Amino acid sequence: MNPPSARGRPVPRLEIGLVNNMPDGAVSAAERQFRGRLEALAPEFDIRVRLFRLQSVARSAFTLSKMNGRYENAARLAEFDLDAVIVTGAEPRAADLRDEPYWREFEALVGQVVARSLPCLWSCLAAHAAVLCLDGVARRRLGVKRAGVFAWRRLEEPPALAGLPPQGLTPHSRYNDLAADDLAAKGYDIVSWSPRAGVDMFVKRCGGEFLFVQGHPEYEADTLLREYRRDLARWMEGEGPPPAVPSGYLLPALERTLDRLSSGHDRDAGGPRALALAGMLEEFRPAAAWMPAATAIFASFARMAACEKARRPASRVLANATGT
C-alpha cells in the first residue's frame, strides 16, 4: 500500500531502476546525484531506486567489490517490477559507439526496456547510444568539448512531460552532439533547445515514453569543476589539447583569465601557469543555478512514470511481479 500524503491522498510509489555506466571514479557520485534528484521529489512521490550495471563496462577490483551485493546484472532487469528506468552515460572510448566493449550488452538493455514498455530517461552518452541502437541516428564529433551551464527554452510540452518550465539551465559535458534534423527525421520530438548547446531534451515513444537528455541536470554544484580539474591535469601530463573552460559556470572574470592561461602549450605541471590555474580553481565556490530546472525535469519524468503505471494492465503488473 502506498503511504498517505500530507493531504490524505496516496503518494505514488515508483520503483526506478538506475543503470550506472559511469567510470570507476564517478560511479558513487552518479549514484548519489540521481538518488538526490529523485529523493528531492518527496513528498509528491515515494521513490525506491534499484541499482544495475552492465557487466562489460570495465571495472577495477576495488569498484567491483563496492558494487557487488548492491548492483544487479542489467541482463536481469526484466525480472524486476520496475516502473521506470534511468540509464547513465559512460566515458567515451571509441569513435563509433558500436565499437565500445559494452555495445552488445547495451543493445540487449534497450531491447528489454522497449519490450517491457518502460518509461526511460537516457542521459548524455546513453542518449547517443540509444538513438543509434533504435534508429541508426549517429552522433557528430564536436571540435572542442562542450562544457558549461547553458540556457535552454522549451519548444513544446509533450503531454507525457507535464510541468516543464518554459526555460531553464542545464550543465553539459560532452565531446559529441546529436543534430536536430537527424532526430526529427526519425520521429523524435525536440522538447528543449539551447542557442549555444543545441538540442537539450527530446522524446519519443518506444513501447514506453523515452526522455533523452544530452546534458546533466543531475549534476551537483561542483561536478563541472571536478571534471575541469581532471581534464586540466590530463593536459598538464601531456594528454590532448588544453581543456575547454566551462562556459557560463565560473565567474566571468575567472572564466576569461582561465581562457588566457590555458591557451598556451606549456604542460609543465610545476610551472607558473599550472600553479595559477590551480590557485584560481581552489578559491572558486560554484553554485547549482540549474537546480530548479533539474527538479522540474525529474518531477516531470516521475509523473510520466506514474501515469504509465496507472494505465498498466493488471496482467502486465502480475507478469512483472513474477518475472515472466
Q: Please give the positions annotated as active site.
A: 124, 216, 218
3-class state of residue 198 by DSSP: strand
Q: What angle do CA 224, 225, 227 make, to 5 degrees?
A: 65
Strands 46-53 and 71-73: parallel
Cell numbers at 11, concatenated: 503518494
Residue 195: how many CB atoms within 10 A of its CB? 9
Q: For residues 27 and 151, give the distance between their C-alpha atoms in angstroms, rounded to a whole number.
A: 27
Question: What is the spatial distance between Cα 85 and Cα 77, in angstroms, rounded to a whole number?
Answer: 9
DSSP letters spanning 101-162:
TTHHHHHHHHHHHHHTT--EEEETHHHHHHHHHHH-PPPEEEEEEEEEEEEEEES---GGGT
Q: What are phi and psi of 188, to 5 degrees?
A: -85, 140
User: In the beta sheet, which residues pair with residue 86?
Assistant: 18, 121
Each as own residue / partner, the long-range contacts of residues 289-292 (CB below 8 Å, 24 or more positions apart, any chain) are 289/149, 289/169, 290/149, 290/168, 290/169, 290/170, 290/171, 290/217, 290/219, 292/165, 292/168
- Whether the CB-CB separation of 223 and 171 falls below 8 Å is answered with yes
Closest CA relative to residue 214, chosen from 182, 185, 190: 190
